[in-house]
Structure 1
Amino acid sequence: MEETIGVTSAAQIPKQRGEALQDTAVRYAEERHWDVFPGTWMESHEGVPRCSCGEEDCPSPGAHPAREDWATQATGSATVARRLWSKQPTASILLPTGRTFDAIDVPETAGFLALARMERMELTLGPVTCTPDRRMQFFVLPGATAKVPDLIRKLGWPPATLDLVARGEGAYVAAPPTRFGTRGAAQWARRPTPANRWLPDVEELISPLAYACGREPRNA
């Protein structure tokens, strides 16, 4: 595997360099031609870290859309991205799916098992993220959401029995180095490189992903 991912935590909000987040968002738009949009961020409320959305029990603190019309805010322009993050430098970096890529979202244990198998099979892989809530997202060509249910059925599983979610139009993923509150940051299990600019079709990856997810109970 390219990297070993660990989930970290801290008692206080880990420091974020706003300039680094802005530069990273700009680079995603400029170099990868991905649409990006700024999400929520972490604030200190009476000395307690809290998501900017104001919810005390926010399930994805500092790592979800800050406004309902986020889909129209997403941009592939590096210039616009730089302007958006200049308004809120510590905003998370979110990537809408269903545009330049879809994402296959699986549990971390299944994801690493599938990733090892894919590498042994020498399959073409795109970028892969790993989040502090122990999920992995495999980037594939757009259109995966329409294909996945039938592909899983053909492999012998009812789709509802697998903890495998295709994220397409109307969804998003958190891009590294976005932090999930004090739980840690999204990281790359496989980084974006010139070699993986061309994404695989979901049909190429679904078998090892479904097999790995089938080895563990649903919602484990």
Structure 2
Amino acid sequence: MGVTETAQVPQQRGDHPLDAAVRYAEERHWDVFPGTWLEAVGGGERCSCGEPACALPGAHADGPDWAGRSTGSGAAARRMWTRQPRASVLLPTGRTFDALEVPEAAGFLALARMERMDLTLGPVTRTPDRRMLFFVLPGAAAKAPELVRALGWNAEAIDLTGRGEGHYIAAPPTRIGGAAVQWARKPTQVNRWLPDVDELISPLAYACAREAADARARTA
């Protein structure tokens, strides 16, 4: 699959949060938990948390106990989303996977390079705020900064971050501020086995460094 085709992977038609949450738990063995959702208010939409200036409207945990409520049971997921069908679908990281987060432009550049290198890739999401998250084996978030440093860059400076234990991500078809999280690479039988961070860090760091340099040049 070429990068152009990868960039155009559509959201699954007719996918609802309940169906997605059950599928992630049953087919991928990912833990899931329901978060906030978007509510119609005065002709617009607002996060169910009630905060007008919510940073992640409709896509964040609705309480500090989210880790304990996370479940890998499809039946439990069905019960939770039946109670609130509009709830966002959130996936804890640091359990069955970590996620490496990069700017979208860097993500697509890295995907193209990874495909040329014939690297093993896991699922990848695209968020409405133009970020991409690469699913990798647990432990990646802790290892990434030192691996990037060994390549000659600073992870924070090139905007490459890891999501590991104690964090979570939003999964499709969750809507953030009105637009949906989508798959850049959908979960399939082929990518059930996730890569280790060591396999992806070089092309990701290179792409992030290049994007950071281009951004500096544009503002110079």
TM-score by length of 2: 0.90
- Determine the structure 1 residue equivalent to 2:192: 197
Q: Give SS of 2:156's match.
A: helix
Greater mean deviation of Cα atoms: 134-143 or 149-158: 149-158
Unaligned runs of 5+ in 2: 216-220
Q: Give SS of 1:80's match.
A: helix
Q: CA deviation at 1:5?
A: 4.7
- Determine the structure 1 residue equivalent to 2:37: 41
- Kindly provide the CA deviation profile for residues 194-216 of structure 1, in whole angstroms up to 9, marking residues without a partner as x: 00000000000000000000012
- The counterpart of 2:130, out of the listed 134, 154, 161, is 134
- Determine the structure 1 residue equivalent to 2:81: 85
The yes-or-no answer on 1:65 pairing with 2:51 is no
Alignment of 1:46-125 (within 5 A): 46-125=42-121
- Determine the structure 1 residue equivalent to 2:168: 172
- Kindly provide the CA deviation profile for residues 88-147 of structure 1, in whole angstroms up to 9, marking residues without a partner as x: 000010000000000000000000000000001000000000000000000000001221
- Kindly provide the CA deviation profile for residues 63-104 of structure 1, in whole angstroms up to 9, marking residues without a partner as x: 111111111111000010000001100001000000000000
Greater mean deviation of Cα atoms: 152-161 or 115-124: 152-161
Unaligned runs of 5+ in 1: 7-16
- In the alignment, is the contact (CA less than 8 A) between 1:30 and 1:78 conserved in 2? yes
Greater mean deviation of Cα atoms: 149-158 or 134-143: 149-158
The yes-or-no answer on 1:217 pairing with 2:208 is no
C-alpha distance in 2 between matches for 1:122 and 1:109: 20
- In the alignment, is the contact (CA less than 8 A) between 1:51 and 1:58 conserved in 2? yes
C-alpha distance in 2 between matches for 1:115 and 1:54: 38
CA RMSD of aligned residues (A): 1.9
- Kindly provide the CA deviation profile for residues 144-190 of structure 1, in whole angstroms up to 9, marking residues without a partner as x: 122111101110112332100010001111101111122x1000000
- In the alignment, is the contact (CA less than 8 A) between 1:106 and 1:135 conserved in 2? yes
Q: CA deviation at 1:35?
A: 0.2
Counterpart residue identity of residue 132, structure 1:
P
C-alpha distance in 1 between matches for 2:20 and 2:8: 20
- In the alignment, is the contact (CA less than 8 A) between 2:58 and 2:176 conserved in 1? yes
TM-score by length of 1: 0.90
Count of residue pairs the alignment pairs up: 209
- In the alignment, is the contact (CA less than 8 A) between 2:88 and 2:174 conserved in 1? yes
Give me the identity figure in percent.
68
**Which runs of at least 4 in structure 1 moved beyond 3 Å after TM superposition?**
none
C-alpha distance in 2 between matches for 1:162 and 1:191: 26
Q: Give SS of 1:214's match.
A: helix
Q: Give SS of 2:49's match.
A: coil
- The counterpart of 2:24, out of the listed 28, 34, 58, is 28
- In the alignment, is the contact (CA less than 8 A) between 1:177 and 1:185 conserved in 2? yes
